[in-house]
Amino acid sequence: MTLSVFVNPELQFSATTFFAKQHKGETCGANGLPLTPNSIILFGKAQFLKTLKNPYLCEYLDIIRGKHERTIVVSQFCGKPLSEYLGKKIFSDSDIIKIAFQLLTALSVLHKNKIVHRNLSTESILVQNSGDIKLFNYGFHYMTNNGQLVSFPIIKLSYAAPEIYLSPLKSHIANSKMDIWSVGIILVELILNKSLWSSLKLSQKIRKILSFYQCGTSVFEKIAREHNCFDVYQNLSAELKHIIEQCLQIDPRSRPTCEDLLKNEIFKEFKVVQRNNPSKVCEKYQIFTLKELYHWWKLAGGDIILELKKQGLIRSSPPILSMPCLVMLDGTVLGQGRNPATLYESKIVQMSLDTLYQRFKHIHLNFCYPLLHCKSDIIAAFDPPHYDTKALPLIIKEKDPEYQFHRIILFRRLLHGYPYTRDMIRKEVEKDIPPLLRGEIWAALLDIQPDYEEIYAMIDKETVTTTDRQIEVDIPRCHQYNELLSSSEGHIKLRRILKAWVHQNTQYVYWQGLDSLTAPFLYLNFNDEAKAFACLSEFVPKYVHKFFLKDNSAVIKEYLAKFSQLIAYHDPELANHLCDINFYPELFAIPWFLTVFSHVFPLYKILHVWDNLLSGDSSFPLHIGLSVLTQLRSKLLTAGFNDCILLFSDLPEVDIEKSINYSNDTFKNTPRSITTREHQNEEYYKTTEYDISGVTLNDLTRERCPRISATDVVDMIRNTPEKILLVDIRNPLQYSRCSVRNSINIPCSSVTYGEHSIENLGQYAQILKNSGDKIVIVIGSTDTDLELFPKFLLNCNIKKVCVLHGGFNILISVTPTVLVSQKFEA
Amino acid sequence: MAEDDIHSVASYVNDNYEKLIEKEIPIPYTKSVQELAYILITKYELPKYIEKELVKDLTDFIEEKERQFYDTYLEDEISRAKKDPEFLEDLTKQWEKLFKEETAEFADKKCTSDEELFASAYHKLVHSPALETILSVEHLYAKAVRRRTDQKDAFIQDLSEKQTEEMNKAVDDLEHGVTESEINELVAKHYEDHSLLKVRYASELDTLKEAQRREYRDWVMKMLEYNQENSFPQSPNSPLLTPTSPLFSGPDEMIFPERVKKNEVKEPILEESFTIHLGSQLKQMYNVRILTGTVEDLCIVPVSESSDLTPQLLQTALALYSNDLSGLVLITDNKIGSRVTKDFQENCLKSTEFHFSHIDAQLEKISSIANIHMSKNASANGSRSPDSELLQCGDFYLTKHSNLAQVHVIFHLVSDDSLRGSDINSRHPVILGLRNVLKASCSNDITSLTIPLLLQYDITEEMTTMWCERRAELVFKCMKGFMIEMASWGGSDLKNLQFMLPTGISSQVFHSLADMLPRIFKISNPKILK
């Protein structure tokens, strides 16, 4: 038995499809770039509809773009159209008033959001089992930019207000009064209990409506007489009659607005009825909504396009039968007839949820209410066993409906409790992030404050500034393969966020790349610009602190120097090769780190990289950089300078999961201080006297091996002595006087540096050669050369070589001491 | 916000706050009023606490202005509608037209055309076990045509030989009483006989093809019915499956021996394939091939008495009514059905075209469409060059075929002598024409495309190695640009792109061009199994 929480008559959806208008010939936009395809403009525009939630509105779920400008709209669809009840059911006055009230309420929500239905009819009003209504397909006219993006008319013949017919050319102006007329017609139909002008032909219907312009009397009366229902008209209650008469005013100016109508006395009783909500603080918590159900349905094999094909809504005649005959140089296409399959058809296809029900059949109700806080093992033991997917790759886990069910249920709960559940969210994120909730989870990871919307609203995003030109150039080049980001709506939003950021961060300037950095946030929070901005504002100080200074060269150089050192630390062979051919990170890695790879990878890869980044710190990008190099390692090792330049000019495809796993590994296994920078944001790093500080950029770029802090060294001496190899390079006298426990002594003056052979080290050569994954910490003092010796080790391809910052002396003050004296031991 | 979306502008003036606030506000206003208020607060250095008040004031102002706007924008039309019935009638017609042209509900219901019926029948059958039968039947038909063609050629050759003999004799006899006029008469007679024979055989061939076509189409429909009744799959040996038609056999009395093939020494085909990816962030994969060959190699189906089916045909048949068509760019000149492509046209006639109208008819139709367009253009603006009945360099026309070996659609791309030169650049009309070819492919589901890399079929003196490299580089780079652009067109993606080089090209030049390809296109990372 499938749980009743899934099988809910309101949790149903359907799809409609149509073609956006094709651009004719060769046309360019004002900026000289090719025009955005209409289906993409529409795609961006329609996103807003997903945010509308009201008990009397069907929820929009998804917009899908097919080939050749096909657009598919997925929306909640439940209950039966009102048109099917006409003539079959007697509507009492109170029924009609209730429908009118709900309809007007729904419309007033739309009108407040500057949406005009314009396509209203009894077919787009769905009657629920409860008798309530839901308005369907109300965003059609809105998403097509008031009809401009499609070639067919978006109106319902008998219901359209007469002024709509007056202006086929001006049809992209939509006045909310048009809907009021349609409400009037719908009410008339309900009262007469029949659909109007049903026997008339197309042109007759249009003529009929236009003829109202020449009729002096009441439209309602005229309609009633024409349909032989004058008696019904006469017997109708005065209030209802008055409302209808008002709606059916031929002049839109005289028609009231929804608000006006709702003030009417007869709706009074409905206004008192509030939805019962036990909590006064927040909305009632739902364990999941239709949006989640749709997501699981898709994962469980639901395929909208396939379903539409099955129902015959996507018909395709073979393309070879409709080839054009001639194409002129200017792009004019001749001899290609209109494919009848591309005409508009208003059919609605209801999606079957059976496969999902089947897939979720065995899910226990307990799973819908996961235990979050549990201190009792006994109770925890009653929790049903977890759905095991540990061994599966991330891509598979993201596609597994059942796994995603558990994750989404859990994360929705946790997000509901944010910010109090912040730590639990962080902990869960280490496993993975369910794609559906990524935007919210990221916001939680970035500690977005609840007042983010207000802050954003206060920022001026309009006033012209000097960076506008650059922003304008960059936006149409930013991740344009993505439908959201390439839509006009996406461009507007991206521009506003960037301008807001520049306005808000006067200490910084707009560097190219900031657009790419913003893209993932905008993509995830397309309908919440303020949140995207808030994420960006939190992200920058945390991960790319000071990168956007007007003069960022010191910051970037330091970062790149650290990158070189990290390569040397983990992969001396590669580092030596790159050094030999003079191929420095400056030549390729600046965009990597400036944009945290958002300029390098496609969005779907960035999302996975950043999933991990957000639980790491600002050194994580270095590790990703290293992992990318590691993937190209074999190529790089055999390549010369020119080949390398070529290779990086257009980075080859990178296996991102491999890369992430690798960088997680190196991130975990690299002592923090190896990647510590002077320019990192102090706010996120607490420093003590034992940490690294005061290293000049010159020193840093000269040193090929990284420094390690006393904090890390002492920590490892105490906790993981088996993982380190301490090499004391002071002279034997100093060494014997006092040295670190278990360190070996190779006086740096005893080594011949001429050739890169580890054997030169004499008795300790073997130990270093077999150091394997041990961290080789070179300890010197002010009088020893702290560059030559580590460099020598590096040149001998010894892994994980680092130098203790501050030299031996810094360890003297450490208590309890880690030092021993040879004399005592002797 | 685009300029044309702003319908009206209202000037907001407010002096409640000891300062005069002025702002032009586009109507209808679609942005956030709250943000507008903050902008004004910053601009006029107003105290923050007035925010709520200002927002309300602005909202009221905008609402009022919008109401005014909506009230007035149709004023003229409404008053006109009240007194002008003709205006209303006119509107009715416009709306009716719009509905009939654009919506399935009101469009003239056309029943599925014969073409579509046949297409779907054929498509179903070739995707069933009947595929082999269909292809072998087609092959038998082709053989018959071939036999008849051979016969015709032989007869004509016979006649020519006879006539030459006669003529020689007559000329020899010139001194012995045969007058010049008699010889002239003889010439005329020979000519007449010759053309008569030609016409006779041509019409005979046409009749044969027409009959074959009819029989074939009937048979396909019947077979589909049969298959549906008996439900797939079934053995290909059932009686209905192979029609025993007289049209299979040519004239029995004369079975011609296999003509001795001109024993061409086939040049070895040079070819190299690459998998490339394009795009800076999101990488799109394509297969690119560079090979030597001729248009014939892709078009001619080898048909002879002993020949069997070639496997390529199978692929071509399967894809014919699919969304994965394959196309070929054929360079031609500015006359439709020009002699430049004579060989190609003859190749098309070597077997019966079962699906589409034959090449001459297609070309004729294209001609007439072109003429209508040109005359319309010429009358509209005299801008097109004086010989406006001709196509221009960079224009192209399309023909579709079901009887060619590896292609379904031919792009006849108009070019001129300037292509021989070495100084063409990316703005050359033929290059722009190639862009249109890609665009047409993209919007018509042609996913495999072959183009001549050098835009030439023969190797001439001026085509030095340098010349070839420059031309190849230009075409590679332009195609790369177009393909990147194509990704945003929203049609079907090109899957295979073939660059064809003339067969005679030296292997050294070939390899230098093949080496150039991975430098221009980015080769995708090979997956290495570890």
DSSP code per residue over B463-491 = --HHHHHHHHHHHHHHHHHHHHHHTTS-S
Residue A512 inside a domain? The answer is yes
Q: How confident is the model at residue B252 (pLDDT cuts 50, 70, 90)?
A: very low
pLDDT of residue B156: 85
- Is A419 part of any domain? no
Same domain membership, residue A358 and residue A309:
yes
Residue with tokens 């709209």: A73
What is the arithmetic mean of pLDDT over A808-819? 86
**CATH number reported for the structural domain that contains residue A536 in this entry:** 1.10.8.270
Does the distance separating the beta carbons of B81 and A162 come in below 8 Å? yes
* pLDDT given for residue A365 in this prediction: 83
Residue holding tokens 């049609």? B491
**Taking all residues of chain A, what is their mean pLDDT, rounded to a whole number?**
88
Q: Is the pLDDT of residue A90 over 90?
A: no
Nearest 10 degrees: CA dihedral of B191, B193, B194, B200? 140
- How high is the pLDDT of residue A216? 76
Can you tell me the mean pLDDT for B278-287? 85
Determine the average pLDDT of the residues in B22-44. Answer: 86
| pLDDT over 60 (residue A824) | no
List, in order, residues 6 or more apart from A499 with CB less than 8 Å away: A461, A462, A465, A467, A468, A471
Indicate whether A281 pLDDT > 80: no
Chain A, window 245-264: residues with a beta carbon less than 8 angstroms from a chain B beta carbon: 251-253
Q: Phi then psi for A465, rounded to 5 degrees?
A: -130, 175
Q: How far apart are CA A486 and CA A478, in angstroms?
A: 8
Quickly state the pLDDT bin for A334 (edges 50, 70, 90): confident
The pLDDT, as a whole number, for residue B424 is 86
pLDDT at B235: 44
Pairwise CA distance, residues A818 & A752, whole Å: 30
pLDDT at A785 over 80: no
Whether B6 has a pLDDT exceeding 80, the answer reads: no
| A572 within some domain | no
Alpha-carbon dihedral B518, B524, B529, B530, rounded to 10 degrees:
90
Q: Are residues A295 and A259 in the same domain?
A: no
For Cα atoms A789, A792, A798, give the angle at the middle one, nearest 5 degrees.
110
- Least Cα distance to A544 among A533, A532, A555, A528 occurs for A555
Average pLDDT over residues A718-730: 90
**How many residues make up chain A in this entry?**
826
What average pLDDT does this structure show over A394-423? 91
pLDDT of B239: 43
Chain A within 8 Å of B118 (Cβ-Cβ)?
no
- A615 and A664 share a domain? yes
What does R_g of chain A's alpha carbons equal in angstroms? Answer: 34
A148: in domain? no
Determine the average pLDDT of the residues in A299-316: 86
Claim to verify: residue A259 and residue A294 sit in the same structural domain: no
- Residue B313, pLDDT > 90, answer no
CATH number where A598 lies: 1.10.472.80
Quick one: pLDDT band at residue B324, thresholds 50, 70, 90? very high
Q: What percent of chain B has pLDDT over 90?
A: 18
User: pLDDT (tens digit, 9 = 90+) per residue, A113-139?
Assistant: 999 998 999 999 999 988 899 999 999
Q: How many domains does chain A have?
A: 5
Q: How many CB atoms lie within 10 A of CB B424?
A: 18
ipTM of the complex: 0.85
A795 has a pLDDT exceeding 80: yes
Does residue A260 share a domain with residue A280?
Answer: no
Query: Distance between CA atoms of B344 and B366, rounded to whole angstroms?
Result: 17
**Strand ranges across the sheet with B446-452:** A333-334, A326-327, B396-400, B409-414, B325-332, B446-452, B496-501, B284-292, B271-278, B522-523
The reply to whether A268 falls in a domain is yes
pLDDT at A680: 86
Could you give the angle at which helices A202-210 and B85-102 cross, rounded to 10 degrees?
140
Task: Supply the CATH number for residue A771's domain.
Answer: 3.40.250.10
Residues A260 and A308 in one domain: no
Looking at every residue in chain B, the average pLDDT score rounds to 82
Residue entry with tokens 């059932």? B238
Domain boundary among A341, A362, A383: A362
Weakest-pLDDT range from A382-391, A630-639, B97-106: A382-391
A406 belongs to a structural domain: no
Q: Does A480 touch chain B (CB under 8 A)?
A: yes
Has residue A298 got a pLDDT over 90? Answer: yes
Tell which of A625, A651, A678 closes a domain.
A678
| Residue A213 to residue B439, Cβ atoms within 8 A | no
Interface of A with B in 685-714 (CB under 8 A): none
Place of tokens 């192979």: B242
Residue A85 pLDDT > 50: yes
Count CB pairs under 8 A between chains A and B. 220
Same domain, A735 and A819: yes
d(CA A147, CA A157): 15
Q: Which pLDDT belongs to residue A29?
A: 65
Chain B interface, best mutation among A23, A68, A169, A323, by max B CB count within 10 A: A323
The number of C-alpha atoms within 13 Å of A554 and in the hemisphere containing its C-beta is 13
Instruction: Name residue A75's beta-bridge partners.
Output: A14, A60
- The Cβ of residue A611 has, within 10 Å, a number of other Cβ atoms equal to 20
- Interchain pair A323, B93: CB under 8 A: no
Same domain, A737 and A644: no
B244 vs B335, higher pLDDT: B335
Distance CA A797, CA A813 (A): 33
Structural domain of residue A495, as residue ranges? 452-543
Q: A746 and A605, same structural domain?
A: no
> Do A734 and A618 sit in the same domain of this protein?
no
Residue B280 pLDDT level (bands cut at 50, 70, 90): confident
Determine the pLDDT at residue A786: 77
Whether chain B has a CB inside 8 Å of the CB on A165: the answer is yes
Region A385-412 average pLDDT:
86
Q: Is A28 on the interface with B (CB under 8 A)?
A: no
Question: Which residue in this structure is represented by tokens 């979720």?
Answer: A360
Whether A724 and A655 share a structural domain: no
Residue of A nearest to B106 (CA): A202
User: Is A715 within 8 Å of A672 (Cβ atoms)?
Assistant: no
Instruction: Provide mean pLDDT across the span A701-725.
Output: 91
In a domain, A420, yes or no: no
Lowest mean pLDDT among A560-574, B70-84, B146-160: B70-84
Give the rounded percent of residues in chain A with a pLDDT score beyond 70: 95
Q: Which of A321, A332, A340 comes nearest B115 by C-beta?
A: A321
pLDDT of residue B381 exceeding 50: yes
Which range among A620-634, B9-23, B466-480, B489-503 shows the weakest confidence by mean pLDDT?
B9-23
Is A418 strand, coil or helix?
coil
- Please answer yes or no on whether A213 and B106 come within 8 Å at the CB atom: no
pLDDT of A666 strictly over 90 = yes
- Mean pLDDT within B501-529: 82
Is the confidence at residue A813, as pLDDT, over 90?
no
pLDDT, position B437: 94
User: Looking at the structure, do residues A639 and A624 belong to the same domain, yes or no?
Assistant: yes
Q: Which of A513-522, B22-31, B356-365 has the lowest mean pLDDT?
A: B22-31
Share of residues in chain B with pLDDT > 70 (%)? 86
Write down the pLDDT at residue A276: 58
Q: Using one digit for the tens of pLDDT, what is the confidence trace for B132-156?
A: 888 888 888 888 888 888 888 888 8
- Contact A325/B365, CB-based, under 8 Å? yes
In a domain, A536, yes or no: yes
A80 touching chain B per CB within 8 A: no
Least confident stretch, A16-30, A713-727, B57-71: A16-30
Mean pLDDT lowest for which of A798-802, B130-134, B164-168, B236-240?
B236-240
Pairing of strands A707-708, A801-804: parallel
Residues B410-444 pLDDT 10s:
999 999 888 888 788 888 999 999 999 999 999 89
Contacts with B324 (C-beta within 8 Å, 6 or more apart), sequence order: B445, B447, B448, B495
Which residue of chain B is at minimal alpha-carbon distance from A337?
B101
- Report the percent of chain A where pLDDT is more than 90: 46
**Across A306-320, A574-588, B228-242, least confident range:** B228-242
pLDDT band of residue B526 (cuts 50, 70, 90) is low
Q: For residue B25, what is the enclosing H or E element?
A: strand B21-27
**pLDDT value, residue B306:** 63
Tens-place pLDDT, residues A729-752: 888 888 888 888 888 888 888 887
Report CB contact under 8 Å: A328, B369.
no
What CATH number does residue A235 fall under? Answer: 1.10.510.10
Four-residue CA torsion sign, A682, A685, A690, A695 = negative
Listed residues A362, A395, A424: the one ending a domain:
A362
